[in-house]
Amino acid sequence: MRIKTPLPSTIICRRRIYMQFDETKTYKNLARSFAGESQAGMRYQLIARAATQQGYIALAEAVKVLAKNETVHARRFMEELQKRGQCLDNINLDAGYPYHGGDIAESLKFAADDEHEEHTVIYPAFAKDAEDEGFKDIASLFKLVAKVEVHHEMIFRYLHEAFSKGVLYSNESPILYICGECGYMHTSTKAWDKCPLCQSSQGEVLLHIPFEKEKL
């Protein structure tokens, strides 16, 4: 008679953990966050593409940085899912994801509004769910991402206002403007239309993005 070898207790234990985790709010919240951040990254890439096509190179580069940030956030959420549930099937989600059409100015405003909702409503709620279910490390992750989204909202608000008013390259008091192509520098209340050194357009001038120090 052949005696069946029992599964190691560690495997049984890990399997039980996975099954329990699959049934938590945190499990689906991580999946929602992965999907949301992935889509945000792509939306921001599309804004950057439109800005590039219209000659706003420095604006495009600034938005590309934010797009990369969102992609990294998505990666972190996926890593947490994979760490706790090795064999994941499709996850059915009932959630809405932002879809906005519009020009560059409208897209920048929509992005700021979306970031605001993330750090004021969505991620605080997800962090609370994780804490209530005993996942303190995941709760901390949600809080850290929310803190970054505060800064993202600030950047998008500034870019929207400055772009809409046509003051991306002007300031009330003199500031240092730098050409992103050749490095030419000049202190003034307004950037040049064409770089005196390399003849690059104004869109190549590096942007000054202000931050509220108390929120950093």
**Ordered structural domains, the chain, with CATH:** 9-167 (1.20.1260.10), 169-216 (2.20.28.10)
**pTM of whole model > 0.85?**
no
- Answer yes or no: are the C-beta atoms of 145 and 209 closer than 8 Å: no
SS (H, E, C) the chain: CCCCCCCCHHHHHHHHHHHHHHCCHHHHHHHHHHHHHHHHHHHHHHHHHHHHHCCCHHHHHHHHHHHHHHHHHHHHHHHHHHHHCCCCCCCCCCCCCCCCCCCHHHHHHHHHHHHHHHHHHHHHHHHHHHHHCCCHHHHHHHHHHHHHHHHHHHHHHHHHHHHHHCCCCEEEEEEEEEECCCCCEEEEEECCCECCCCCCEHHHECCCCCCCHHHC
Q: pLDDT tens digits for 53-98?
A: 999 999 999 999 999 999 999 999 999 988 886 555 666 666 666 6
pLDDT tens digits, residue range 129-167? 999 999 999 999 999 999 999 999 999 999 999 999 999
